[in-house]
Amino acid sequence: MMKLQVAIPFATVLSLASSHTIFTQLQAGSTTSAVGVGIRDPSYDGPISDVTSNDIACNGGKNPTTATNAIIQVQAGSTVKAIWRHTLTSAASDVIDPSHKGPVMAYLKKVTNAVTDPGYGAGWFKIQEAGLTNIANKGEQSITIPSCIVPGQYLLRAELIALHGAGSSQGAQFYMECAQVNITGGTGAKSPATVSLPGAYKASDPGILINIYQTLKGYTVPGPAVFTC
């Protein structure tokens, strides 16, 4: 729970369909993945609005995603960056329309095969969240990979929720993509509690059904608590 005072200019109510966003690249160590390499990117940048859909896990379905055989190597304990862009070809200056205010989050799911696992279902745990700050920082979302999880293949799901239309049911816009990662160096000392996607969110959650065009006394980020070692 965060105490925030949020003032949003009235003009930003006029959001455009063209103002969506995609998690296009992952920076891990000194390497930044090329667009579409190791991340299941959709060609269309539109949101998912139904939290009960399988598409809430790794997109796809409504916005078909492109498969990739690449797996991105990630060091446990390191901080990686999910890079968000308006479209697959947008420059760093074009992240998202400023009207799209809301939280960012990151989840991991341990999988046997990061290339073929469909993503949806049980096994997800949250490793990062940032309240209502949205996408400051030129679209770079910093995510620290826990040092105490078991090494191996995971899906890394970065998510941004835009709340400009969230005052009505199914008005929140969920943007997410899954990166296919191989985490090395984890101690395996802890086993995170997990949730299912779909399942972890309800359309009526206070962080999902919310009118942000008012002075907010606080904001409750949806989903489970962040796992820490």
Ligand X SMILES: *[C@@H]1O[C@H](CO)[C@@H](O)[C@H](O)[C@H]1NC(C)=O
Minimum Å distance from CB 84 to Cu ion? 12
Select from 6, 12, 19, 229 the one that contacts Cu ion (CB under 5 A).
19
Minimum Å distance from CB 179 to ligand X? 13
Minimum Å distance from CB 104 to ligand X? 26
Q: Half-sphere exposure (CA, 13 Å, Cβ side) for 78?
A: 17
Q: Which two tokens stand for residue 42?
A: 């959709």
Which of ligand X, Cu ion, none does 86 bind, CB closer than 5 to 8 A by kind?
Answer: none
Which of Cu ion, ligand X, none does 116 bind, CB closer than 5 to 8 A by kind?
Answer: none
Binding residues for ligand X, rule: CB under 6 A, are: 71, 153, 182, 184
Which of ligand X, Cu ion, none does 20 bind, CB closer than 5 to 8 A by kind?
Answer: Cu ion
C-alpha distances (whole Å) from 154 to each of 43, 85, 172, 190 are 23, 23, 27, 15
Q: Please say which residue, 71 or 203, places its beta carbon nearer to ligand X.
A: 71
Task: Please state, in angstroms and rounded to a whole number, the distance separating the CA atoms of residues 125 and 108.
Answer: 5
DSSP H stretches of helix in 47-159: 55-58
C-alpha distances (whole Å) from 72 to each of 37, 45, 82, 223 are 8, 22, 12, 26
Which of Cu ion, ligand X, none does 71 bind, CB closer than 5 to 8 A by kind?
Answer: ligand X
Minimum Å distance from CB 116 to ligand X? 12
Q: Which residue is nearest to Cu ion (CB)?
A: 20
Question: Over the Cα atoms of the chain, what is R_g?
Answer: 16
Minimum Å distance from CB 20 to Cu ion? 4
Task: Please state, in angstroms and rounded to a whole number, the distance separating the CA atoms of residues 10 and 33.
Answer: 38
Q: Please say which residue, 20 or 110, places its beta carbon nearer to Cu ion.
A: 20
Question: Are 175 and 21 contacting, i.e. CB atoms less than 8 angstroms apart?
Answer: yes
Q: What is the DSSP string of 19-81?
A: G--EEEEEEETTEEPPTTSSB--BSS-PPB--TTSTHHHH-BTTB-B------EEEETT-EEE
20 binds Cu ion (CB under 5 A): yes
Q: List 144's β-bridge partners, or say none.
A: 79
Q: Please say which residue, 15 or 32, places its beta carbon nearer to Cu ion.
A: 15
User: 112 to 171, contacts with Cu ion by CB under 5 A?
Assistant: none
User: 48 to 67, contacts with Cu ion by CB under 5 A?
Assistant: none
Q: Please say which residue, 72 or 166, places its beta carbon nearer to Cu ion.
A: 166
What is the binding site for Cu ion (CB under 5 A)?
Answer: 19-20
